[in-house]
Amino acid sequence: MAVFTEVGRDEAADLMQRLGLGELVDLRGILGGIENTNYFVTTERDGERREWVLTLFERLTHAQLPFYLYLMQHLAAKGIPVPDPQADAHGEILHTVCGKPAAVVNRLPGASVLDPTPAHCRQLGALLARMHLAGQDYDREQPNLRGLAWWNETVPVILPHLEPAQAALLTAELAYQNHIAATPAYQGLPRGPVHADLFRDNALFEDDRLSGVFDFYFAGCDTWLFDLAVCLNDWCIDLTSGAADPARTHALLEAYESVRPLTAAERALLPAMRRAGALRFWISRLWDWYLPRPAAALQPHDPTHFERVLRARLAEC
Ligand SMILES: Nc1ncnc2c1ncn2[C@@H]1O[C@H](COP(=O)(O)OP(=O)(O)O)[C@@H](O)[C@H]1O
Ligand SMILES: N[C@@H](CCOP(=O)(O)O)C(=O)O
């Protein structure tokens, strides 16, 4: 469980009142998650019980958060099933709890499917493309804070912890991605606000129908192709070996393209972006592993998984 900051009932009750969401009935720390402090909150208003998620942001600042919160609001208003941040009487959706920036969003129904079939991947692919198109007219800009600049900063910090073969792979892949990023083909790729972390555990299904996607706190402006690659690297692989699963890959890609066909440049750069997606999460997992933060209880994700995913993508090239 990742509860970095303990929130008292009084403080939670006060916030829910200020947002007009009713009386606090229940407050429960959420198991899972590695970035932020999350609580499920139950309130009651006019005899009706409702469920919310209270998030305290542990790394992101007041200045960075409006991009994510207004993006969720923008997408929700366009009918994309994402959490909708709740406003106070002044229309403010970024709050402060225990001295930390905080938000309250509606709890989406359903549960994550951790062993997805092609049918699940198809729904995810179509939703991803709809989300990209719905974000096109979002008017705030913020780079992907876990993009190339962060990889270049972070790799030197983690290299001393690695075996020589791992260090060589990480260094070579980072050089390759710097090279790709400088090419006109990459720079011409369609881009916009992207989720950038849409793993199996950030989507919910109810009766096998995709009921929503959440955890937008790694979102940023980046190529749509990178977002697609991140999804393929998680939803459409064998988690033990990192190998691509052809049926799920085909289903996700076909559904994505039924909403937004890829350009020729995107098709050509998809293998490179799948390598980029693997590199991004290898770096962040190594960083969390070797430079952990204190938390009430925190299980960092296994970095070697994304080393295998990267090696599997390289073997395909
Ligand atoms: N809006 C939401 N609706 C339903 N469940 C949610 C929502 N937001 C978070 N959760 C639950 O909280 C867990 C942790 O949230 P997550 O955003 O992944 O945390 P972190 O950002 O710390 O990684 C999720 O696995 C999910 O069960
Ligand atoms: N999806 C990332 C980690 C991000 O954590 P999340 O709980 O916020 O999705 C990974 O698997 O490394």
Q: Which atom of ligand 2 is nearest to the CA of 201?
A: 9
pLDDT value at residue 93: 97
Residue 40 Cα to ligand 1 midpoint, Å, equals: 9
Residue 33 Cα to ligand 1 midpoint, Å, equals: 6
Cβ neighbourhood burial of 264 (10 Å; 0-12, 13-18, 19+)? exposed
Averaged over 173-201, what is the pLDDT? 98
Over 80: is that where the pLDDT of 219 sits? yes
- Output the residue whose Cα is nearest ligand 1's atom 2: 107
Mean pLDDT of the chain: 95
Over 80: is that where the pLDDT of 231 sits? yes
Residue 273 and residue 186 in contact, taking contact as beta carbons nearer than 8 Å: no
- Output the residue whose Cα is nearest ligand 1's atom 18: 33
Q: How confident is the model at residue 34 (pLDDT cuts 50, 70, 90)?
A: low
- Output the residue whose Cα is nearest ligand 2's atom 10: 281
Q: Which atom of ligand 2 is nearest to the CA of 284?
A: 12
Which one is the CATH code of 118-316: 3.10.150.10, 3.30.365.10, 3.90.1200.10, 1.20.120.1770? 3.90.1200.10
Averaged over 266-284, what is the pLDDT? 98
What ipTM goes with this model? 0.94
Write down the residue that tokens 């709740």 correspond to: 86
Residue 17 Cα to ligand 2 midpoint, Å, equals: 31
Q: What is the pLDDT of residues 125-149, one digit of tens each?
A: 999 999 999 999 999 999 999 999 9
pLDDT value at residue 294: 63
Domain spans, the chain: 9-106, 118-316
- Percent of the chain at pLDDT exceeding 70: 97
Q: What is the pLDDT of residues 290-304, one digit of tens each?
A: 987 765 446 789 999
Q: How confident is the model at residue 315 (pLDDT cuts 50, 70, 90)?
A: very high
User: Mean pLDDT lowest for which of 5-9, 133-137, 278-282?
Assistant: 5-9
Q: Which atom of ligand 1 is nearest to the CA of 111?
A: 27
Over 80: is that where the pLDDT of 13 sits? yes
pLDDT value at residue 296: 45
Cα–Cα distance measured from residue 56 to residue 28, given in angstroms and rounded to the nearest whole number: 13
Q: How confident is the model at residue 1 (pLDDT cuts 50, 70, 90)?
A: very low
Residue 47 Cα to ligand 2 midpoint, Å, equals: 37
Averaged over 21-47, what is the pLDDT? 91
pLDDT value at residue 26: 97
Q: Output the six-digit token pair for 86.
A: 């709740």
Residue 83, ligand 1, Cβ within 6 A: yes
Give the binding-site residues of ligand 2, using a 6 Å CB cut-off: 33-35, 197, 199, 201-202, 215, 281, 284-285, 301
* Adjacent-strand bridge partners of 210: 205
CATH number of 9-106: 3.30.200.20
Residue 301 Cα to ligand 2 midpoint, Å, equals: 8
pLDDT value at residue 2: 66
DSSP 237: B
Cα–Cα distance measured from residue 151 to residue 171, given in angstroms and rounded to the nearest whole number: 10
pLDDT value at residue 291: 87
Higher-confidence residue of 68 and 296: namely 68
Residue 87 and residue 93 in contact, taking contact as beta carbons nearer than 8 Å: yes
Residues found in the chain: 317
Q: How confident is the model at residue 33 (pLDDT cuts 50, 70, 90)?
A: low
- Output the residue whose Cα is nearest ligand 1's atom 7: 107
Cα 194 to its chain centre, rounded Å, is: 9
- Output the residue whose Cα is nearest ligand 2's atom 6: 33
